[in-house]
Structure 1
Amino acid sequence: MKNTILIVILLISLSCFGQQYPDFKSLRYDENYSFLKSDTTTDNWYKTMKFLPLSASKENYISFGGSIRYQYFYAENENWGDGPQDSDGYVLSRYLFHADFHAGNFFRAFVQTQSSLADSRIDPSPVDQNPLEVHQAFADFNFINEKNHKLILRAGRQELTYGSQRLVAMRDGPNNRQSFDAVKLITSKDNVSADFFYSHFVVAHDGIFDDNSTPERQFWGSYFVINKVPIIKNIDVYYFGYERTKATFNDGAGKEERHSVGTRIWGKTENWRYDGEALYQFGDFASKDISAWTASINLGYRFNEIKFHPELSFKAEAISGDKQMGDNQLQTFNPLFPRGGYFGLASIIGPSNLLDFHPGISLELSKNIDWVIDYDMFWRYSSNDGIYGPNTFLIYPGDTTTSKKIGNQLETEVIWQPNPYLYFRFESTWFNAGDYIKASGTGKDIFFAGITMQLNF
């Protein structure tokens, strides 16, 4: 009750402000409120929170912010009817608060706490529940900090995200976002930017201030982005290295060292948007050689002159799976650290051993309300491999049937953002189980519905 009262008071206070601040970023450390040092408008508590000078010159300042998110979810026949079932639904809540300290243009420190709670959730996983942790705590040393030329060394606990978040994401969809203890060099000049990093994944535990990184999951790599390329507009080129001491796939368990090289072409025009990506993985798993790959295309066309500005979209992905049990090769693709809701917000299956065709349509019902409808069709790429969750956890093995059909998924969501601070989403998903699911378990159709409210400040 106290939390509700505080949120209502905060909402009333925020509604008094006009839109005078930049949009909130998904990576909150990318926000910059230094422009407020020259703002001569009357101070208010929100302006002071976003820009609190610590010196007469206002070159040293601290900025505060955060987000509060509540979600209610109901699932019928969760996991296709296998395992414990919840007839009442559950509530997820997430609280993120951060402080961002700047000392001139050459030093910066960022700290963020996270509390993710799962009320009435049966057997909550670390993705659902992580009571209270230091989610991020890093320092930036800005050797060069100019508008078109940067060289920054970042060290400490931090979120990582690259490209379309197919391989590396902050994992905002699930309740508990993920982070890494990392050292990263950030460079950019004119139309080219690049990151070079080495990290250990931070493992979530169900306690207070007990998360820790582990050398059992090491992650390193480089990511280049080239903008303003003729015709194709933007291109990404990257390499990721990943090592974990305990990996499990349909074809065994053991130590995994995997290397991913890929490229992405993306951009948009007045009507079109496009995003194509291809990558190859190689390395070693136990005594096997890794040879895996994926290719995807994501296209959209928006009818700007028609009422509701409908956008037709089409996505397709081919994601390799293991061809044969017991041989000396592993062809199962590993998506590394992807966004949680990879194929929709219900996050039922992950991107390994899949063929996926995904048409959709979105409508702009009003300036602040969007309606999205997606239809997804899934098959196994290889009939000898199983299907996996987003974290490569094996859901069902590959030898239950030769059928490749996993099922079809219909999803719809309505998104309402009445102002920059508030976000609401109403969603539902129906998953029609295919022959493979029916042969591998209970095989019931899934119905999933949820309501999300998020406050950013």
Structure 2
Amino acid sequence: MKKFILLFFSCFGLYSQSYPEFKPMRFDESYAVLQNDTVKKNWYKTMKYIPISASGETYLSFGGEVRYQYFYAKNEKWGDDPVDNDGYILNRFLLHADFHAGKHFRAFVQLQSSNASGQIDPSPVDSDPLEVHQGFIDISLLSEKDKQLLFRAGRQELSYGSQRLVAVRDGPNNRQSFDAVKAIAGFGNYRGDFFYSHYVVAQDGIFDDYSNKKRQFWGSYFVINKIPALKNIDLYYLGYKRANANFDDASGLEQRHSVGTRIWGKYENWRYDAEAVYQFGSIDLKDIEAWTVSLNTGYRFSSVVLKPELGFKVELISGDKTSGDDKIGTFNPLFPRGAYFGLASVIGPSNLVDFHPSLSFELYKNLEWVLDYDMFWRYSATDGIYGPNTMMIYPGNTTDAKKIGNQLESEIIYQPNQYLYFRLEATWFRAGDYLKASGAGKNMVFTGVTMQLKF
């Protein structure tokens, strides 16, 4: 703990120096720029760039992350989960080594340790003591400013677009990864990824996570930038095969195909992100016909005191309309980001109608206050509601009521520099008629504190 505190405070001293910015996926960072840096070396620069060859093109880099969180919930899962009067602590440690041998070969290894203290029944998503989270090699055949051709093989994180379907799952304690082969091609404003993978299943032991051959995931993802009017557009196809799917009106072998598009960008003080996805395939003997559309937009009043941003998000996500027929309409979000609808992270994006206004303020430099209000309904009264992992929370036959509830969330976020991050948040969820008919139906309160250090 003493070493952590020393490292914590020493990061304030690094603030005045210039280093490459951290990326959400740490393997996207490059510290080759430090090769020609004439500024006097310190312990941090030595860790980020260790030359191995005389030319300096072969080098080793280290980095990591430490995150501590405390959570307290009253009436967790609307009163159906066991009572926990003390709350619980989550901590996560990530440490990586990045080896580059010139421009054409690279190896990346990342260890992850996620621990839960005080939870009544911790899951592998929160508690996974020590694992090889990532371990892959890159072979780069073409690496120029506007041209790229790269092949990657091994255990790796996958993340695409707004992370509605494919994410690193940073919100929960344990990030997710895949055993995959991947090709990345880029030319000018065009980029395309092609991959095939098996999902890595987290276990509660040491070095026992395994590649699940019963959960296959493959696809292609294209991004086109600098388009007139639209700014940016994504086009993608994602395939998914799961041996033991379980929905309200279908179970068995799931073979699902998703085709989608996303339009996103910024225009002056506006930001926008619109996405549409259609899914087809089969679960056992039933045909899949599922879809979702979403719009996430906001406008920042940059000339007003506190620079408020007014945001609005709406999502329509299909559910199964007719029980017992030969079709299944429940949308599968595949591998979405954790905490999809805020801190409480109870409801997943299946069979849902969601209206989500928000308001944020810049209280001070690097200090932000966010308020948002979420209203949830079931899209179909014959389908249940699901968690982010598509595990059914309640079935659809308990009531005809569609109202799930309303959620009010507040966050205060302070990020003094790129190394340190603090967040204080609270969520109040008012249970609607559907929850009251399906379970205990109590109002839920969820609070949390997050402290994070990256290096």
Q: Distance in 2 between matches of 1:102 and 1:83?
A: 48
Report SS of the residue matched to 2:6: helix
Structure 2 alignment gaps of length 5 or more: none
TM-score, scaled relative to structure 2: 0.99
Instruction: Provide the rounded CA distance (Å) in 2 between the counterparts of 1:14 and 1:77.
Output: 38
Q: Tell me if structure 1 keeps the 8 A contact 2:358–2:372.
A: yes
Letter of the aligned partner of 2:429 in structure 1? Answer: F
In 2, the alpha carbon distance for the partners of 1:346 and 1:282 equals 30
Aligned residue in 1 for 2:293: 295
Please list, as runs of the form range in 1=range in 2, the aligned pairs for 1:237-386 lying within 5 A after superposition: 237-386=235-384
Amino acid across the alignment from 1:34: A
Name the residue aligned to 1:418: 416
Q: Deviations over 1:164-205 (max 9, x none)?
A: 000000000000000000000001000000100000000000
Residues 137-148 of structure 1: pairs in structure 2 closer than 5 A: 137-148=135-146
Shift in Å at residue 418 of structure 1?
1.3
Which amino acid letter does the alignment assign opposite residue 288 of structure 1?
Answer: K
Describe the superposition over 1:233-268 as per-residue Cα deviations: whole angstroms up to 9, x where unpaired. Answer: 000000000000001000132010000000000000
Choose which of 2, 6, 17 in structure 2 pairs with 1:9: 6
Deviation of the 1:13 alpha carbon: 2.5
Give, as a single letter, the amino acid of the residue that structure 2 aligns with 1:113. Answer: L
User: d(CA) in 2 for partners of 1:232 and 1:362?
Assistant: 25
- CA deviation profile, 1:248-302 (whole Å, cap 9, x unmatched): 0001320100000000000002200000000100001011000000000001000
Letter in 2 for 1:412: S
Is residue 42 of structure 2 the alignment partner of residue 61 of structure 1?
A: no
Quick check: 1:234–1:266 contact (8 Å CA) kept in 2? yes
Question: Partner residue of 1:26?
Answer: 24
Separation in 2, partners of 1:180, 1:133:
13
Give, in whole Å, the separation in 2 of the partners of 1:388 and 1:132: 29
Task: Give the drift of 1:19.
Answer: 3.3
Aligned match of 2:441 = 443
| Aligned residue number for residue 198 of structure 1 | 196
CA RMSD of aligned residues (A): 0.6
Residue 38 of structure 1 is aligned with which of 36, 45, 59?
36
Output one character per residue of 1:6-38: Cα deviation in whole Å (capped at 9) or x when no partner.
111112322222231122111000011100000
Residues 19 and 420 in structure 1, CA contact (< 8 A), matched pair in contact too: no
Shift of 1:367: 1.1
- 1:105-148: CA deviation from partner (whole Å, max 9, x where unpaired): 00000000000000011111111111100000000000001110
Equivalence for 2:205? 207
**Take 2:241 and 2:346, find their aligned partners in 1: how far apart are those partners?**
25
Alignment of 1:149-168 (within 5 A): 149-168=147-166
Paired AA for residue 8 in structure 1: I
Q: Secondary structure in 1 aligned to 2:179?
A: strand
> SS in structure 1 opposite 2:13?
coil
Distance in 1 (CA, whole Å) between partners of 2:64 and 2:24 is 11
> Do residues 394 (structure 1) and 400 (structure 2) align?
no
Q: C-alpha separation between the residues in 2 aligned to 1:345 and 1:442?
A: 21
Q: Please give the secondary structure, in 2, of the residue aligned with 1:403.
A: coil
User: Does the 8 Å CA contact 2:87/2:118 hold for their aligned counterparts?
Assistant: yes
Structure 1 residue 341 displacement after superposition = 0.9
One-letter code of the match for 1:37? Q
SS in structure 1 opposite 2:159?
Answer: coil
Q: CA deviation at 1:218?
A: 0.1
Distance across 2 between alignment mates of 1:449 and 1:83: 16
Amino acid at match of 2:271: R
Q: Larger deviation: 39-48 or 197-206?
A: 39-48
1:71 aligned partner: 69
Alpha-carbon shift at residue 400 of structure 1 (Å): 0.3
Q: Is the 8 A contact 1:427 1:451 kept in 2?
A: yes
Task: Report the identity percentage.
Answer: 67
Q: How far is the alpha carbon of 1:348 from its aligned partner?
A: 1.4
Counterpart for residue 132 of structure 2: 134
Task: Tell whether 2:405 aligns with 1:403.
Answer: no
In the alignment, which residue of structure 2 is the partner of 1:182?
Answer: 180
CA contact (8 A) 2:250 2:286 kept: no
CA contact (8 A) 1:302 1:309 kept: yes
Quick one: which amino acid aligns to residue 201 of structure 2? V
Letter in 1 for 2:8: L
Is the 8 Å Cα contact of residues 265 and 276 (structure 1) preserved in structure 2? yes
List structure 1 runs of 4+ shifted beyond 4 angstroms. Answer: none
Q: Which residue of 2 aligns with 1:91?
A: 89
The amino acid across from 1:298 in the alignment is N
Deviations 1:149-170 (A, max 9, x none): 0000000000000000000000
Segment of structure 1 superposing worse, 195-204 or 413-422: 413-422
For residue 103 of structure 2, give the secondary structure of its aligned residue in structure 1: coil
Q: Secondary structure at the match of 1:29?
A: helix
3-state secondary structure, aligned to 2:337:
coil
In 2, the alpha carbon distance for the partners of 1:378 and 1:330 equals 21
Paired residue type of 2:128: N
Following superposition, the deviation at residue 83 of structure 1 comes to: 2.5
Please tell me the residue identity of whatever aligns with 1:373: L
| 1:125 and 2:123 are equivalent in the alignment | yes
Q: 2:430 aligns with which of 429, 432, 451?
A: 432
